[in-house]
Amino acid sequence: MRRGQKIVVEPGNLETRIRSIQSHGRELEFAQSGMRTAINLPDVAVGNAIGKIKRGDVITLVEVGRASPALVACLERSDRLGLESPAARPLKNGSSVYVHHGTSRVAAKIVLLDNGALEAGKKAIAQLKLASPILAFLGDRFVVRDASEQHTIAGGMVLAPDRARFLDRKQQTLLAARALALDDVDLCVRSEIARRGFARRETLLSKSHFGADEIRGAFVRLRSGNEIVMHGDFAVESQFWQKLRNRAIAFIDEAHKQNPDRTGLDLRELRTELRGQQPDVFEALIADLCADNFIRNGSAIARTAHRAALPVELQTVETKIREALSKKPFDPLPRREIESDPNAQRVLRFLIESGEVTEIASDVVLLRENFERMKQAVADFIFKNGPATVSDLRQALKSSRRIMVPFLEKLDRQGVTHRIGDKRVLA
């Protein structure tokens, strides 16, 4: 920590800055791990009320993260407890205790994974639900005393310093392995990524005693061993990523099979299928797919080899739609009349996505060649006659106001025309 640095006091989330630092009476510019340190914090009063600093609070950096109301730990009962001692009684699931962590003392309830009891001389992984949040680090040691605070009944090591679910056996196995090697940075990084499936590199194990260089080295080794893959800011478990990738590919391929007329699968449909994935992870997945045989086109994704084509049974419907849009090329029927049934809706969507039909407004569509002819006719009329109103252009092109108003608005957006008052000029 450096003089002038912004810090936060947890669990109150009180943000302030370091005015000055001392160690053994000497003024310092910065303090390092292991130094006895006095820190002057302006605008932070001492006391137990909200907004004040008290015994047990932690001074840390904002990027470390917030205090947590729960943590997962390995609890151990001493094998030296006398059988007659009240402290030797089995520690039951749901027991109320006090946790002494650092200089803090917090009431808590113990949730044992197997809903059993922890006997003297035994170890177990448990979740501690805290009455008030604490900022703990991976590997922190703490003491557990009974509700009367007359007996020390267990000790513990923090395995996951944030609220964690351990509903499956995989989570328990990973945490049990971590409990045996809390100083093994590779194991801790690997198990943390495996627990989540993925993790942000910059925040992974921020609540641990490992330095940034140690964690960075673990990333390199695990990546070299194909245990994890890296995508942008994310580190992902290889097996998790491959399963997610395979699910996405299978869903896209099935969409091509079921709807060969679609240019691609709408990304919203894929996101729904892969529900639960964070937006950044989803975007990293799409980028990974597009680097290998897939292409993103706007809001859709498809195999690069996919070519949209109408099924044979819908080709007669396509012919009818083209005929309907050609009878009055500059004043076709409303879209709702052309889309008379689900098949017509499907074919028209195909024609729009393939660029054969141009969508002017929600109820106005034109064949692409008619749209281009109409655009050229508008440009020629204004070039020859000067600024023109909607009525001037409607009469000249033998169109209708229903078509001409949204058509000109589209030309405005494209930069072909520009509206001044009630007239259009060439932009």
Q: pLDDT tens across 121-143, in order? A: 889 989 999 999 999 999 999 99
Closest CA to 28 of 58, 5, 52: 5
Q: pLDDT tens across 192-237, in order? A: 988 887 888 888 898 998 988 999 999 999 999 999 988 877 888 8
Contact partners, residue 290, CB within 8 Å, separation at least 6: 296, 301
For range 46-54, the mean pLDDT: 89
DSSP helix/strand/coil, 338:
helix
Q: Residue 66: is it exposed, middle or buried by C-beta count within 10 angstroms (0-12/13-18/19+)?
A: middle
Give the mean pLDDT of the chain.
Answer: 90
Q: What is the pLDDT of residue 114?
A: 72
pLDDT band at 120 (very low <50, low <70, confident <90, very high): confident
Q: pLDDT tens across 381-406, in order? A: 999 999 999 999 999 999 999 999 99
Rounded CA separation 54/413 (Å): 61
Instruction: For the chain, give the percent of residues with pLDDT over 90.
Output: 60
For range 311-338, the mean pLDDT: 91
Written as six digits, the tokens of 43 are 């605008």
pLDDT at 164 over 70: no
Rounded CA separation 410/233 (Å): 40
Q: What is the pLDDT of residue 15?
A: 92
Is residue 34 within 8 Å of 98, Cβ to Cβ?
no
pLDDT at 312 over 90: no
pLDDT at 166 over 70: no
Is residue 158 within 8 Å of 140, Cβ to Cβ?
yes
Q: What is the pLDDT of residue 417?
A: 95
Q: CA angle, corner 305, sides to 303 and 307, nearest 5?
A: 95
pLDDT at 309 over 90: no
pLDDT at 296 over 90: yes
Residue 197 CA to chain centroid, in angstroms? 12
Most confident of 278-292, 306-320, 359-373: 359-373
pLDDT band at 165 (very low <50, low <70, confident <90, very high): low
For range 175-194, the mean pLDDT: 91
Helix (H) or strand (E) holding 341: none
Rounded CA separation 257/263 (Å): 12
C-alpha distance from residue 90 to each of 98, 119, 148, 236 (Å): 16, 5, 16, 40
Is residue 392 within 8 Å of 398, Cβ to Cβ?
no
Contact partners, residue 51, CB within 8 Å, separation at least 6: 12, 14, 45
pLDDT band at 157 (very low <50, low <70, confident <90, very high): very high
Q: pLDDT tens across 68-100, in order? A: 999 999 999 988 777 777 778 888 899 999 999
pLDDT at 314 over 70: yes
Written as six digits, the tokens of 88 are 């030797």
Instruction: For the chain, give the percent of residues with pLDDT over 70.
Output: 98
Q: What is the pLDDT of residue 167?
A: 58
Q: Identify the structural domains of the chain with CATH numbers, from first to last.
A: 6-63 (no CATH), 68-160 (2.40.30.10), 183-309 (no CATH), 326-427 (1.10.10.10)
Is residue 140 within 8 Å of 94, Cβ to Cβ?
no
